[in-house]
Amino acid sequence: AQSVTQLGSHVSVSEGALVLLRCNYSSSVPPYLFWYVQYPNQGLQLLLKYTTGATLVKGINGFEAEFKKSETSFHLTKPSAHMSDAAEYFCAVSAEGNTPLVFGKGTRLSVIA
Amino acid sequence: DSGVTQTPKHLITATGQRVTLRCSPRSGDLSVYWYQQSLDQGLQFLIHYYNGEERAKGNILERFSAQQFPDLHSELNLSSLELGDSALYFCASSVSGILTSSGNTIYFGEGSWLTVV
């Protein structure tokens, strides 16, 4: 079975500061990893995904994530936070892409002016 | 706009009642997934249908059932509702049930807010 742990239910950063949202996964088979963002009163929007190949994945809105197998991690980063980045972020895993997504509990990102 | 349409957006009902949530997937998508989002449980996978057939079941209660129709829309039926069933119910769709590197992605609707009073 797969599982995802997101460290920190709430992260607060200053505008222009680095954003780092942590995600660790557990999977007995090669994982497919995803980051989704949820803005208030909206559905989930895909930010980026890792399936195979290059371990550094670039997504929308300047976000990127790096798959580190040795650390079972898939942390999400953005060099400079913008006020519009304030939202809930979810990391998810699928076993080899053959199983439905299993989500972490989510991390709420606040951006302070 | 993801292209996944869910109705109703908001629903308030009493304990013991039954409701039906409807989902229209993106054009061309054969897979439909249902998720429940609550404060205490987070995002929980309920069930997956592919081209009308059930593919996988998650933490779906026996009081809940779902189906996918020939036109590929799906319905989630919730019966004997309890206060704890209050949640945001998401439908998602993808072209197939396999998230290959060729670009198959799961797209989420905006959800149906269910409040049980």
Residue B74: predicted pLDDT? 98
Angstrom distance (rounded) from CA B55 to CA A45: 23
Among B33, B42, B109, the residue with its CB nearest the CB of A100 is B33
What average pLDDT does the structure give for chain B? 92
- Of A24-28, A92-96, B103-107, which gets the smallest average pLDDT? B103-107
Burial of B98: CB neighbours in 10 Å, binned 0-12, 13-18, 19+: middle
Chain B residues near any Cβ of chain A (below 8 Å): 2, 4, 33, 35, 42-43, 45, 48, 56, 58, 90, 92, 97-101, 104-111
Q: Is A77 on the interface with B (CB under 8 A)?
A: no
Task: Count H helices and E strands in chain A, helices first.
Answer: 0, 11
Residue B17: what are its φ and ψ, rounded to 5°? -85, 175
What's the CA angle centered on B103, arms B101 and B104, to 5 degrees? Answer: 100
Mean pLDDT on A40-56 = 89
Of A43, A94, A105, the CB nearest to B42: A105
Cβ proximity of B15 and B117 under 8 Å: yes
